[in-house]
Amino acid sequence: MRLVQRAAVLALFSAALGAGTAGAQTATPAPSPAATPIAFSAHAHANVTVLAQGTTYAGEVRLGLAQRTSLTRVDVLSVKSDAFPLPPLTATVVIDRRANTLTVWSTATKLYRTQPFLPRLGGSASPTPRASARPTATPGPARRGTSPFAQLEVLDVSLKLTGHTTTAGLPTTGLAFDLQVRKKGDQASSHVTASTQLADEFAAFPITLDVSLEPGTLPFSAKLNYAVDDLTRTVPPLTSFQVPAGYKQARSLFSVIFPPGTNIFPPAIQPPSPRPSSSP
């Protein structure tokens, strides 16, 4: 199930999730002054539909988008749903592909969080040397690694090029993604599908994106339909990709966007409460 959730997050966010001021708290590498940055500003929307326990929930997200060379900014401008009440949500996400960082901040909480965008391969620092343990008379069993595929019954992944066309006035290339996974003992396979039109002029920027998720093991399914509404070839200032001055660092991405005690899930898809600890 964790494998499916990770794939869904990558597909959604797929998913590719106010301007900064002087004295920003994160440094951004400046592009070469001789080169014109590949840049744009745009607006987009996404419609999300969730079916859980026989009830359908629908909502709409309005987004502001900006790119400057290796920097991408996504602003969550508004989130609306007629199915259940939502707290006011506003957030800014900045992806720095060169530095491999994801930075999120919120004007409502005045908090920010920066962390790696993609997992790093290997640690950057050498492990601290430790004293050798005393040898035992009878050595224990050798530890063996576990293959990530050992517990799978079904794994079918495909990524196809669907052709070249023009979308919203821009040359685009179409891609289709399909993933089916079933663990040993599960009765049904989890299924994730996605189709997108990527702008040829910009690095992996989706003009449209349609994603469908069916976990298989849960009575739950979700669909996402995303599209760019307008795009201009303006160059955003570098300060708009930096955390505004005066913001404090948060412990997690969730706490940046949602104040303590905020409940964003309707009752039908409320996550289970943690089991009480048996220790006193």
145-171 tens-digit pLDDT: 688 899 999 999 999 999 999 999 999
Residue 198, in any domain of the structure: yes
Residue 81, in any domain of the structure: yes
Q: Which two tokens stand for residue 37?
A: 């940055």
Burial class (CB in 10 A: 0-12, 13-18, 19+), 190: buried
Q: What percent of the chain has pLDDT over 70?
A: 68
Distance (Å, whole) CA 77 – CA 81? 14
For residue range 236-278, list pLDDT tens digits in order: 999 999 999 999 999 998 889 876 655 555 554 444 444 444 4
Residue 212, in any domain of the structure: yes
Give the pLDDT score at 181: 95
Give the pLDDT score at 263: 54
Domain that includes residue 6, residue range: 2-15+39-119+151-252
Please state the domain count of the chain. 1
For residue range 201-239, list pLDDT tens digits in order: 887 799 999 999 998 877 889 999 999 999 999 899 999
In the chain, the amino acid numbered 252 is S
- Could you tell me the CATH number of the domain that includes residue 86? 2.50.20
Residue 125, in any domain of the structure: no
Residue 28, in any domain of the structure: no
Residue with tokens 């508004």: 78
Global pTM reads: 0.69
Distance (Å, whole) CA 120 – CA 93? 20
